[in-house]
Amino acid sequence: MISLAVIFDIDGVLVDSYGPHFQSWRQLAGEFGCDFNESQFADSFGQTSREILAGNWPVKLSDEQIVAADLRKEYLYRQIIESHFPAMPGARELVRGLHSAGFALAVGSSGPKANVAVSLAGLGLGELFGAVVTGEDIIHGKPDPAVFLAAADRLGVSPALCAVVEDAPAGIQAAKRAGMTAIALTGTVSRDRLAAADLIVDSLDQLTRDRIAEAIRQRVAGIGK
């Protein structure tokens, strides 16, 4: 039997992290005496924290300041989610169901390793993932496809047989560039901004093993035409 794989983003897909991430960015901005508004935050989805601090931050920072600010921001974020863990509705059920059905599972996140570890611990599902790739394993964040290609490589599954579940346009673009089936979850951004995805759902409850397998099959069939 040919193995199929599902690669999950963490933020906004398995963890309802929008509020905690925005809160941690606002806290960090306050420490710099400036503001980081929700529009700036939304425009940064899919990027690593260091990419945001280098290119979309209200204050010009040196390389050393970027490193320190990055560590501080992620520390603030972990404090927030550790005090009240925000699992996405249906996340645990979907991951368990796919694992039981024989899908290979991976995490492909632009976030730091420590954040992903806290998230997997909060979900209680770490042992079900055959590969975990974080922002510390790659040079460029999404929309670069490196994080998803690395996950597929570690799973030993062809990119064409992988589906990616993402909530951000940059993540959808990265999945498409990787040659994978892109499944978009609405909620973080509007549906129209996710239009490039192969499949769009409004909740994880709408995803089943059969629906994901069919989306992969249709994409592979379409490539072969």
Closest listed residue to residue 70, CA positions, set 120, 10, 25 = 25
Which of 153-157's residues contact partners 24+ apart within 8 Å by CB, and which partners? 154/106, 154/130, 155/3, 155/5, 155/104, 155/106, 155/130, 155/131, 156/3, 156/104, 157/3, 157/4, 157/5, 157/104
Residues paired with 5 in a beta bridge: 104, 162
**Residues marked as catalytic:** 9, 11
